[in-house]
Amino acid sequence: MTVTAHIDISTPTGKKIVRELENHSRIVELAYNNEMPAGAIPLDDAIELVWNQLETKIGYDIRTEQK
């Protein structure tokens, strides 16, 4: 018999359940859904946003070589 469950791992309880299931890898097969939560932005976009905000704050882009 097979059971399929959807567990929300954004909650502490969901994370605890998944950690417990991971401990039983001989009988449990986990498949993770890679969709992003609503309102989330990709990592590359977030990094660029941080650099742009830092540049605005200090007045120049520290990623460029200063001579």
Q: What is the pLDDT of residues 13-45, one digit of tens each?
A: 999 999 999 999 899 998 888 777 778 888 999
Cβ distance 57 to 63 under 8 Å? no
Q: Compute the Cα dihedral for 21, 26, 29, 32 and give only its sign.
A: positive
Q: Is residue 65 part of a domain?
A: no
Q: Is residue 54 part of a domain?
A: yes
For residues 22 and 24, give the distance between their C-alpha atoms in angstroms, rounded to a whole number: 5
| Residue 31: domain span | 12-58
Percentage of the residues of the chain whose pLDDT score is greater than 90: 45
Number of domains, the chain: 1
pTM over 0.85: no
Which residue type sits at 39? G
Q: Which three-class secondary structure state does DSSP give residue 47?
A: helix
Q: Is residue 31 part of a domain?
A: yes
Q: Which of 46-50, 55-59, 62-66 has the lowest mean pLDDT?
A: 62-66
Banded pLDDT at 65 (limits 50, 70, 90):
low
Q: Which three-class secondary structure state does DSSP give residue 7?
A: coil
The whole-chain average pLDDT of the chain stands at: 88
For residues 37 and 15, give the distance between their C-alpha atoms in angstroms, rounded to a whole number: 15
